[in-house]
Amino acid sequence: MTLTDQNVHEIIASGQPVVIDFWATWCGPCVRMSPIVEELAQEYEGKAVIGKYNIEEENDLAAKYRIMSIPTILFFKNGEQVPSLRLAGAQTKATLEERVKQLIEM
């Protein structure tokens, strides 16, 4: 799912588990993570919203959460960020999936 400044606030406010991958096309680690994020989005469809937020095209959320490096992955539940789950840098599918499971179980 592509997250934009127009839809991301409503999605977070829905209260459901939300995972946001902050990325850019020029970021090598971000590009390598894309298939992982897309796989997990399909695998957890209906349980969590997993999407990508392109910082080249959007900036409200990146500024709000002070995203200084990418990839950065933020996790939200009940409309609030869960800081303890935040990930920075390229991650393995296993690591990211474990965080998604933790988020859903909260």
Q: How many C-alpha atoms does 66 have within 13 Å on its Cβ side?
A: 1
Q: What is the mean pLDDT of residues 66-89?
A: 94
Q: What share of the chain is helix, strand, coil (3-state, %, to 5)?
A: 40, 25, 35
For the annotated catalytic residues, the residue numbers are 27, 30
Q: pLDDT per residue over 30-58, tens digit each?
A: 999 999 999 999 999 999 999 999 999 99
| Rounded Cα distance, 4 and 53, in Å | 6
Q: What is the pTM of this model?
A: 0.94
Closest by Cα among 94, 91, 69, 67 to 81: 67
**Phi and psi torsions of 78, nearest 5°:** 55, 35
